[in-house]
Chain A
């Protein structure tokens, strides 16, 4: 049996020719994401906002309307009630209560009491104001630190142009993934933050593979024009880039469909982020090297000979 190739061996797409289009598309996506993030904002889960979450299982399909009337009349502020995966599974979320941690505790007790004994409480979470703020802070730190560490690593291993290009591509992926959350309104909690960080790691992984090849070809084809060389590098790694993204997506789709409601947002972030990451390492990171005026490292004395090569 002849193996099936996702990408033909002799693929030759002139990516660099389209780079202006990629820049415009990417810039537009980033701007929309940042704009929406600043205006509409993320739908933060209780991990970061503080508040209460209760997941219940009812006898038979849940009567969301009745639950809403029941819990809405308790005077605990905004109560969000939604079906969670199954008709008899309901997720109840309460906003952070005014006052200190004691107030949150009291509200949780009130809700459990109002729900009565007819429903099974499958999960209850309470995040007080203090912990919510701390988690938010830790989240910001973790994103910043991992970006910084990755940048330092790339800078050590490659020329500075590669480091800058990879971090720009990385920020691109992270921002657009966040934009995805703003647009879809999917809740942003600790798990989705972890997904965003994983996307960062994954996206850099893809970029590094292409960069490795560029570096190799820079040494090998000393007379080739940089744009041609970039195109050749992207094309010769294209099969691998798509293969790995594809296998990862296969696994994630299984997780998305069968992994249960609780990690659906997390999986969604990963699926979206990995697609964006693949796009950016092919269409953004490598072309950016041109903008950053990547040159061969020219040994002393050979300057005139090699210049413009």
Chain B
């Protein structure tokens, strides 16, 4: 059985050669072989964020707020429909279950239901007696959520792109989550700041009948609300909050551009409306000259300038006590647009470029030293056969790198540990075979017979042993996150390639040796 058919030997050599070809680009400067064809060699292994530096953020879109908002709007539509048809009702607050309304006359309930069904076909109605609860069908709700998430993805992508980093990855995860990965980012706090904001901007008028504190004490004028001020200038002047008219006079949705700029030497943010927004803004500023305009971002007043004259061109600036950085961020957020719903950062992992580089170097040293230890030990233990196992070990490492390059798998710090572990474990199959050969020789078999029997009887053990480790690796892959997945990947690839190299490569080497030298003694 030690006899190798020519094509079998050729196949083993071919696999080794392919491994070398696909692994080589990893040792050359990036971009040496620029190619787009996925099957051609030239690609390097992807380094994970923990090795190249960068930020990983897991965001969750507040779906409930989208749904609540939509049910409030639905409630408005229903109420105005009922009003038109002169059906008397008592309004109720919209919740997460749907918009709710109570019809006063029991005999009008059916008519009301028919009307609602006509205006809002994608809804189902429940509720007892005079109560009607209108909620979206599962399908409509899913579409609503999907739309909100894809809008959020789009806005997040625009915001991250503005940071000017290379190859950011932005992906949806599960129902309501978004994973953002930005390699090579120097300052994760900036990313945090621009992702944590909804950036919903609206223009309201300041109600100047009373101050906010008077309103609190003597009662709020109808249709007003109190909002905190985020302007450092106001704070310095002792103004912490404003009494604001609830009505939105111009919505931020109509903004088309925004840039940081300077006005009288101070950083400000300029903005430009589309035609409709510009017209409305001009109209509003003409009618309300002399009043104060509140610019509200995410529920805070960022600036409340007095309207001195009509602003007709659709252009304006926001003044306030901004730092240059704040002006940059604010204009970025306005350019990229508002998120359809607030987002929360559930998880963040950021690694600076220095640490990543250090980790790669430490990993390389550890891998090389581990390799040297194992290589030396194999030679000491098995002599000539140890050398063969070492050659197989090197080929195995090359194959791991090649497979990872072809699959474009991500190498992480635990992944490097997985490779080092593979170095220790890959020789296992050879140890099994060699020990078996030694036993067979001690049992008095001839050289070729002992080698043959060694390979044959070690086979099922090798398979069992590797499959169990592979099971653990696969479970790790499906449950682990980020870096741990990287460990599972290198471990799994290492197990599979080591079965090839430890069995076939050593077998070929030994076959060639036996054929050429015709050894009379088996030293192992």
Contacts and interface: CB of A to CB of B under 8 A. Distances in A.
Interface of A: 1-6, 9, 55, 57, 100-102, 105, 108-109, 112, 120-128, 130-131, 135, 138-139, 141-142, 145-146, 149-150, 153-154, 157, 190-191, 193-194, 197-198, 200-202, 204-206, 208-209, 212-213, 216, 236-237, 239-240, 243-244, 246-255, 257-260, 262-263, 266-267, 270
B358 A260 contact: yes
A3 B381 CA distance: 5
Interface stretch (B37-45, B318-326, B339-347): B339-347
Nearest to A104: B345
Q: Would you list the 8 A-B pairs with minimal beta carbon distance, nearest first?
A: A201-B472, A251-B424, A248-B424, A260-B362, A254-B370, A251-B370, A142-B479, A201-B469
A87 to B, nearest CB: 15
B464 A149 contact: no
Binding site secondary structure of chain A: helix
A9 B442 contact: yes
B233 interface: no
B429 to A, nearest CB: 9
Given A248-B425, A259-B363, A123 B355 contact: yes
A154 B464 CA distance: 9
Contacts of B423: 251
A254 B420 CA distance: 9
A251 B397 CA distance: 14
Given A101-B346, A260-B359, A208 B439 contact: no
Contact of B381 (A4, A127, A191): A4
Contact of A205 (B344, B350, B367, B465): B465
Contacts of A262: 355, 359, 413
Nearest to B487: A194
Contacts of B427: 244, 247
Contacts of A112: 189
Interface of B: 58, 60, 188-189, 192, 196, 344-352, 354-355, 358-359, 362-363, 365-367, 369-371, 373-374, 377-378, 380-383, 386, 413-414, 416-417, 420-421, 423-425, 427-428, 431-432, 435, 438-439, 442, 457, 460-461, 464-473, 475-476, 478-481, 483-484, 487-488, 491, 523-524
A254 B471 contact: no
A128 B347 contact: yes
Given A9-B442, A260-B358, A247 B374 contact: yes
Contact of A194 (B347, B374, B442, B480): B480
A248 B421 contact: yes
A262 B358 CA distance: 11
B208 to A, nearest CB: 33
Contacts of A205: 428, 465-466, 468-469
Given A197-B472, A204-B468, 15 more contacts: A3-B386, A101-B344, A126-B345, A127-B347, A142-B478, A149-B475, A154-B468, A191-B414, A191-B487, A194-B488, A250-B374, A252-B370, A258-B369, A259-B366, A263-B417
Nearest to A112: B189
Nearest to A215: B460
A17 B502 CA distance: 36
Nearest to B429: A244
Nearest to B479: A142
B188 A124 contact: yes
Interface centre among B349, B465, B472, B480 (most CB of A within 10 A): B472
B10 to A, nearest CB: 31
B417 A266 contact: yes
12 contacts: A1-B383, A3-B386, A108-B192, A122-B352, A138-B480, A149-B471, A198-B487, A244-B428, A251-B374, A255-B421, A260-B363, A262-B359
A108 B347 CA distance: 12
Nearest to B192: A105
A208 B425 contact: no
B344 A100 contact: yes
Contacts of B460: 212
A131 B346 contact: yes
Contacts, number: 237
Nearest to B475: A146
A194 B461 contact: no
Binding site secondary structure of chain B: helix
Given A194-B476, A263-B413, A105 B369 contact: no
A102 B352 CA distance: 23
B414 A126 contact: no
A181 B423 CA distance: 25
Nearest to B441: A9
Nearest to B422: A251
Contacts of B382: 3
A305 B60 CA distance: 71
A23 B367 CA distance: 37
Contacts of A197: 472, 475-476
B494 to A, nearest CB: 11
B424 A249 contact: yes
A125 B395 CA distance: 37
Nearest to A158: B464
A128 B351 contact: no
A123 B484 contact: no
Given A200-B472, A201-B471, A212-B460, A123 B362 contact: no
Contact of A250 (B189, B377, B464): B377
Nearest to B433: A240
Contacts of B471: 146, 149-150, 153, 201
Contacts of A193: 484
A124 B488 CA distance: 24
Nearest to A245: B424
Contacts of B188: 124
Given A57-B354, A141-B479, A198-B491, A240 B432 contact: yes
A191 B50 CA distance: 13
Nearest to B467: A153
A202 B422 CA distance: 11
A130 B355 contact: no
B414 A263 contact: yes
A124 B191 CA distance: 13
Contacts of A246: 377
A191 B350 CA distance: 16
A201 B475 CA distance: 11
A3 B374 contact: no
A129 B302 CA distance: 31
A157 B467 CA distance: 11
B475 A101 contact: no
A171 to B, nearest CB: 14
Contacts of B523: 2-3
Contact of B349 (A125, A135, A145, A270): A125
B344 A102 contact: yes
B72 to A, nearest CB: 23
Given A252-B421, A252-B424, A126 B348 contact: yes
Nearest to B438: A9
Contact of B431 (A57, A102, A247): A247
Contacts of B479: 138-139, 141-142, 145
A164 B479 CA distance: 25
